[in-house]
Amino acid sequence: MEQIEIKSQNLKELKETVAVLGEKPFRAKQLYEWLHQKLAVSFDEMTNLSKAFREKLKETCVLTALEPLEVQTSKLDGTQKYLFALSDGNVVESVLMKYKHGNSVCISSQVGCKMGCRFCASTIGGWTRNLLPSEMLDQIYRIQQLSGERVSNVVVMGTGEPLDNYDNLLKFIRMLSDENGLHISQRNITVSTCGIVPRMYDLAEENLQITLAISLHASNQEKRAELMPIANKYSITEVLDACRNYFEKTGRRLTFEYSLVGGKNDSQEDAKELAELIRGLNCHVNLIPVNPIKERDFVQSEKKVIENFQNKLEKYQINVTIRREMGRDIDGACGQLRKSYIDKKEDS
Ligand SMILES: C[S@@+](CC[C@H](N)C(=O)[O-])C[C@H]1O[C@@H](n2cnc3c(N)ncnc32)[C@H](O)[C@@H]1O
Ligand code: SF4
């Protein structure tokens, strides 16, 4: 008999599992709390469940728990990068960032990525598989336990394209915000996408309060397609239409991420074109100085160029911030810690 992957079950599914195992319905809530509030990593910890029930659980279920392989801590700002092993030997990375307003965790949604964006380390080795809801949740659970810090914000901005793992992502969001679990407000959850248009329309219908962030990175179709192959499938116009629909349906302000690549998309004309493109949309632009990766020859825009870009957008009344670079002294861009671990393993 196939084992039940119990940490990906929501409370309703857990009630069914508990019934099949011959236990009273109230046990499901106790079990859910052990898994998602007390963050248990073994059935033996669940001391208010009978020994016989725990034995049954061990026989019939697998309990997903990520194993920390490496933790890097920034001396500059306390940012921590975690490398976790999954049960099949794959590895994923996650980041804990400490801000005045609370602690934020950036999680991965897939092992690798199919999308091939030119400046991104996460896609260099291709895509291996989707992460399960439990594997997304457990990145947060383990970080909360290992760091002793309460996590208040979650961003799905690590390796992978979350809307390419749609069903698992939705289950993850609902379980993360469930009052019987960590109960993180959906308003404190951000999902970042490269612009999978049909899924953006689907997401608008899910009755969620999350923030949707769109990786735009260019002010026109041609430039975007140079940086992001997905633009050949869904045009920039289609992405913006989907954004307008998302705002109409959810009332949630959108975030546009714009990685500034020296000499590629950082001119004053680019800024003007961007302002015109998104005019009238309730949105916020996050400028990200691109983090150079050794496999590509992209360079970061100069500080002055970044500031001028920001000023130009502000002239057009666009809400804009420059993303503070967190953990600058530890393994660079997103996906690089995982990549250097895999490279080292292959070398040896
Ligand atoms: C790694 S992606 C994951 C979420 C989703 N796949 C997406 O593209 O929005 C999160 C953000 O990091 C940005 N990013 C990736 N590599 C980067 C780099 N080397 N420097 C700066 N930003 C980068 C992406 O463009 C995207 O806006
Ligand atoms: S930026 Fe996002 S979509 Fe593009 S390759 Fe990286 S993880 Fe994938």
* Predicted pLDDT of residue 341: 78
Question: Is residue 130 located within the same domain as residue 239?
Answer: yes
CA separation (Å) from 49 to 14, 177, 272, 309? 15, 25, 62, 59
Question: Is residue 16 located within the same domain as residue 48?
Answer: yes
Question: What span, in angstroms and rounded, lies between the C-alpha atoms of 6 and 134?
Answer: 8
Q: Is any atom of ligand 1 closer than 6 Å to the C-beta of 259?
A: yes
Question: What span, in angstroms and rounded, lies between the C-alpha atoms of 86 and 216?
Answer: 31
| DSSP-assigned letter for residue 302 | P
Is 215 annotated in a binding site? The answer is yes
Question: Is residue 126 located within the same domain as residue 31?
Answer: no
Q: Is any atom of ligand 1 closer than 6 Å to the C-beta of 120?
A: yes
Question: Is residue 181 located within the same domain as residue 75?
Answer: yes
Question: Is residue 46 located within the same domain as residue 98?
Answer: no
Catalytic residues: 93, 334
Query: Among 12, 36, 62, where does a domain finish?
Result: 62
* Predicted pLDDT of residue 84: 98
Contact 78, 98 (CB under 8 A): yes
Question: Is residue 195 located within the same domain as residue 287?
Answer: yes
Question: What span, in angstroms and rounded, lies between the C-alpha atoms of 18 and 4?
Answer: 11
Tell me which residue has its CA closest to atom 2 in ligand 1. 157
Question: What span, in angstroms and rounded, lies between the C-alpha atoms of 156 and 217?
Answer: 18
Query: Among 43, 62, 81, where does a domain finish?
Result: 62
* Predicted pLDDT of residue 173: 98
Question: Is residue 165 located within the same domain as residue 90?
Answer: yes
Question: What span, in angstroms and rounded, lies between the C-alpha atoms of 69 and 135?
Answer: 15
Is 267 annotated in a binding site? The answer is no
Question: Is residue 166 located within the same domain as residue 310?
Answer: yes
Q: Give the global pTM.
A: 0.96
| Tally of structural domains, the chain | 2
What are the tens digits of pLDDT across the range 8-50? 999 999 999 999 999 999 999 999 999 999 999 999 999 999 9
Domain residues for 21?
4-62
Question: What span, in angstroms and rounded, lies between the C-alpha atoms of 189 and 104?
Answer: 9
Is pLDDT of 248 > 70? yes
